[in-house]
Amino acid sequence: MGVVSLRAALSALALSCAPLALQAQEYRLSPQDLLPQSNYEFDLPTGAELANPKGMEAFNKMAEEIRQSSTAIVMKDLQERGIALGILPDGQTPAEALAAAAGEARLPEGYRVTIFVSRAMGEGALRDLMSLHRNRKDVRFVFRGVPDGMSVPEFGWWLKELLSPDGDLIQDLHINLDPELFDLAGAEMAPTMILEDLNQTDTAATNGKDVGKIMARAVGFNDPDWLYERMQKGQTDERSNNAVPIEEEDLRVRAEREAAAVASRFTRDPEVLKSRYWDRQAASLKNMRVMPAGTDRRRVLHFMYRAGEEIKDNDGKVLAFAGEVFQPHDVLPFDRRIFVFNPNIEREVRFVEEQLQTNRAGVSRIMLIVTEVPQTQPGQEPWDGLQALINRFGVQVFLLNDHFRTSFSIKATPTEIFPEQGNGRVEVISEEWGLL
């Protein structure tokens, strides 16, 4: 289920200095895109526009205020301040620190459960989960970053407000903001629990982080005592469908992006700008990672749209009036055949190549959307990877963005989206192909 933004334009992002003038694009449906077109033209930004995009001066001023947001610096500074204030222990092992901490421990001595959480779980579920484990010193909660649009202080205030119905609940919980713990535990979904033995820490392997040897993990569960019991029975990896993808951006990626924005005012070197552009694209795609499909799955996609303004076709005929709520393909049948795939998995590339040799009824345009920046040989640029795909398939290749992923409910690769006549109407089909 998704909402298609008809007003949003098809954005073309390209570097004017690229000799092949390729468009690394993010695709959004627009009213024009729903209509058959003979060709599409994209205006490329000039070098001046690329180096000084609209609003950059104001953004630089804002970024200047947070230029010291390097995660390493912030974490080190917080650690030192915490020790100086007596909030954090100095020189204690994790097990000793846990034993000395205030609160109740229900797990055997030296054991702790870390629960990786996200706002994507829903405010009610977060509040209930944290209330359930209040006053437990052997349970801690960890966020990977702060929600989009929030600063770290705003996140702290939001969390306090979230837990305020339970009085001083936030004072009775151990809550961390630490993306490195997510990496060490391999946590991609929330909630995820890990059971740690703090008597078996490996500071070299964990880069000095406060984490013990991981004895068991569970995805989609939230009972620490149950996890310990499962570990005792030899069950060390439990999974369920009661988990959601983590919503918050890695705090380190955000800090690096903001720092890069500040540094950008000191250079107009096209090579540096190109490198930063592709770094941002790679980071964006990594944060919305789409995994290969394990099995085949076929779904019918449904879209609802409220027209913000009158929509007309090329002849001036009104297709939808302002404020009207409708399903887009009731106005104009969907006529795109779209493949979403990972260009760095050869079996998916071959699969798309084979499928393009077949035809589907009602299709007027084929589109390819990739979930990663194509890998290239040493000395080549990402442009070369996109050009290789364009040459291989003979059609334009787009980069996936989060809007398209959400609107078309992209869950796995490869996914084919196409029209199909059914129930007296043209339906939009999403078909995932398990190639493993």
Question: Can you give the CATH number for the domain in which 313 is found?
Answer: 3.40.30
> Could you read off the pLDDT of 149-190 as tens digits, one per residue?
888 888 888 888 888 765 566 777 888 888 888 888 889 899
Residues 41 and 109 in one domain: no
Residues 209 and 296 in one domain: no
Smallest Cα–Cα separation from 192: which of 153, 240, 260? 240
Residues 142 and 41 in one domain: no
Residues 238 and 312 in one domain: no
- Asked if residue 154 belongs to a domain, the reply is yes
Residues 97 and 241 in one domain: yes
- Amino acid 37 reads Q
Band (256; pLDDT cuts 50, 70, 90): confident
What does 30-95 look like in DSSP terms, one character per residue?
-TTTTS--S----PPPPHHHHHS-TTHHHHHHHHHHTTT--HHHHHHHHHHHHHHTTSS-SS--HH
- Amino acid 177 reads L
> Which of the listed residues 222, 245, 268 is the one where a domain comes to its end?
245
Q: Percent of the chain at pLDDT above 90?
A: 25
Which pLDDT belongs to residue 155? Answer: 83
Residues 326 and 416 in one domain: yes
Average pLDDT of the segment spanning 41-54: 49
Residue-range definition of the domain harbouring residue 411? 11-45+288-432
Q: How many domains does the chain have?
A: 2
- Asked if residue 378 belongs to a domain, the reply is yes
Smallest Cα–Cα separation from 299: which of 436, 416, 426? 416
Which pLDDT belongs to residue 73? Answer: 53
DSSP element (H, E) containing 113: strand 111-116
pTM of the model: 0.43
- Asked if residue 423 belongs to a domain, the reply is yes
Residues 318 and 399 in one domain: yes
Residues 359 and 425 in one domain: yes
Average pLDDT of the segment spanning 263-292: 73
Residues 224 and 296 in one domain: no
> Which of the listed residues 191, 214, 245 is the one where a domain comes to its end?
245
- Asked if residue 143 belongs to a domain, the reply is yes
Residues 137 and 196 in one domain: yes
- Asked if residue 70 belongs to a domain, the reply is no
Looking up tokens 């070098």, which residue turns up? 47
Average pLDDT of the segment spanning 270-286: 74
- Asked if residue 280 belongs to a domain, the reply is no
Which pLDDT belongs to residue 359? Answer: 92
> Which of the listed residues 191, 224, 245 is the one where a domain comes to its end?
245
Which pLDDT belongs to residue 6? Answer: 26
- Asked if residue 379 belongs to a domain, the reply is yes
Residue 349 scores a pLDDT above 60: yes
The more confident residue out of 191 and 209 is 191
> Could you read off the pLDDT of 110-129 as tens digits, one per residue?
899 999 999 999 988 998 99
Residues 18 and 127 in one domain: no
- Asked if residue 53 belongs to a domain, the reply is no
Band (270; pLDDT cuts 50, 70, 90): low
Strands ordered across the beta sheet of 111-116: 175-177, 139-143, 111-116, 192-197, 213-219, 237-239
